[in-house]
Chains A and B, each alone.
Chain A
Amino acid sequence: MILNFLNMSGYGLYIWLSYAFTALSLISLYYVSVKKLNSIKNIEHLYQSEKIEEVSVSAQATKF
């Protein structure tokens, strides 16, 4: 029964390859993103500061 499920009426290879590719690339994207953020977190106090508001540099951000 399990073999039948894995076989997918003969198309198992294509189906499992596409699901595996999707899972692998999404998981690696997630981990790369988290790692990148953690690498910079030791200066996290920066974004806590009030000055972060400067980032939305333009005065128009509030105007329109």
Chain B
Amino acid sequence: MVFSKSTKNRLKIFSLVTIATSLIFFFIYNNLQKNVVYFYAPQDIKNLTDTPSNKIRLGGLVKEGSLKKNNNIYFFIITDLKNEIFVEYNGLLPNLFIEGKSAVIEGVLKDKKYFIASTILAKHDENYMPPEVANSLKKNKLNK
């Protein structure tokens, strides 16, 4: 392709600016990865050197069979299938908070194994299907 001289110049300037900005964004992104975490998985909390005293979010699967209720206070375990964290929560559970599904929990760590929740958000996955299909999938799993 034949471009005029001024077009070539603009292309040059543009590519220089693009390279410069993408480098800047690359560094910003790398730092963001380290500093801005929306939620911690149980493994991340295990790897922390000290227990943060401020509000954090914890995310993972609600362990099946772990949800218990005592005097309006819920107790359950959040797991990433390797590490488990015990959670205490006083409040209403969202409809989609189900054992075996994931959730994001806001609150403070009492210690590395015990989390006091103030808000619970249910996280749902990318699977959408009618109830009949879900039931037959479940049956197939049990038969195996």
Contacts and interface: CB of A to CB of B under 8 A. Distances in A.
A and B touch in the complex (CB under 8 A): yes
Interface of A: 60, 63-64
Per DSSP, are chain A's interface residues mostly helix, strand or loop, or mixed?
helix
B90 to A, nearest CB: 25
Nearest to A59: B4
A60 B4 CA distance: 9
Contacts of B1: 64
Contacts of A60: 4, 7
A60 B3 CA distance: 9
Contacts, number: 4
B132 to A, nearest CB: 16
A60 B11 CA distance: 15
A61 B2 CA distance: 13
A64 B1 CA distance: 8
Interface string B1-22: 1101001000000000000000
A26 B2 CA distance: 43
Contacts of B2: 63
A32 B4 CA distance: 41
A30 B136 CA distance: 45
A27 to B, nearest CB: 28
A64 B4 CA distance: 12
A58 to B, nearest CB: 10
Contacts of A64: 1
Nearest to B2: A63
A64 B7 CA distance: 13
4 contacts: A60-B4, A60-B7, A63-B2, A64-B1
